[in-house]
């Protein structure tokens, strides 16, 4: 199934990031872009999410230098744009993959596209990784570990359910029982013409 491969790729991205465990490390995609397109996109997607996860940790430091915080906020904004772009690339992959499928007359559209569901699956992989770290943290109390174990079990169940839902959705699209559309996010705050603050400085 598709999500078994996706979850494996997400884990590779997360594990590779944590070898150096720094947000400024050089990114290298382990998948060939031409021959393994979806693998390439999934790995890149999870890497972006992993870096942003750690950006969000850093910026919550109450003692962070304000200038560094502003710089980091800009990096988070750029990361968010990269994340959105990757989701759209992944959806474009599925649009191309199922381009020859004719939806049945009673076919319905899903509440979200496949790639936005995959986006949630990538974030879940990060939650599971870091919650497991808390479970295994040597200096954590027994009550903390127990609490985190309970949360970890919920996250694992959530990943199982979400994985099944994504696989079912892709099967439904392939069989013509559902169809997909891709709507560009049309974010306004980065656009010089749509953000009144930026427009006023032109």
Residues 17-75: tens digit of each pLDDT: 999 999 999 999 999 766 679 999 999 999 999 999 999 999 999 999 999 999 999 99
Check if the beta carbon of residue 149 is closer than 8 Å to that of residue 131.
Answer: no
C-alpha pair distances (Å), 37 with each of 42, 94, 151, 176: 9, 11, 34, 24
Q: What is the mean pLDDT of the chain?
A: 92
Encoded tokens for 70? 């502003």
Whole-model pTM: value is 0.90
């Amino acid at each position: 199934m598709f999500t078994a491969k996706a979850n494996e790729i997400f884990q590779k991205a997360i594990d590779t990031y944590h070898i150096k465990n720094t947000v400024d490390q050089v990114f290298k995609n382990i998948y060939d872009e031409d021959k393994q397109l979806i693998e390439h996109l999934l790995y890149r997607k999870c890497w972006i999410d992993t870096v942003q996860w750690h950006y969000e940790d850093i910026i919550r430091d109450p003692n962070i230098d304000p200038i560094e915080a502003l710089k980091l906020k800009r990096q988070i904004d750029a990361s968010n744009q990269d994340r959105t772009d990757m989701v759209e690339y992944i959806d474009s992959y599925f649009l191309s993959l199922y381009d020859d499928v004719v939806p049945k007359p009673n076919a319905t559209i899903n509440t979200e596209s496949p790639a936005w569901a995959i986006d949630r699956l990538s974030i879940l992989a990060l939650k599971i990784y870091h919650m497991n770290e808390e479970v295994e943290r040597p200096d954590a109390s027994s009550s903390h570990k127990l609490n985190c174990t309970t949360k970890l079990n919920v996250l694992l169940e959530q990943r199982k359910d979400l994985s099944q839902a994504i696989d079912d959705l892709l099967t439904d699209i392939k069989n013509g029982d559902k169809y997909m559309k891709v709507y560009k996010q049309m974010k306004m705050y980065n656009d010089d013409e749509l953000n009144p603050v930026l427009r006023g400085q032109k």
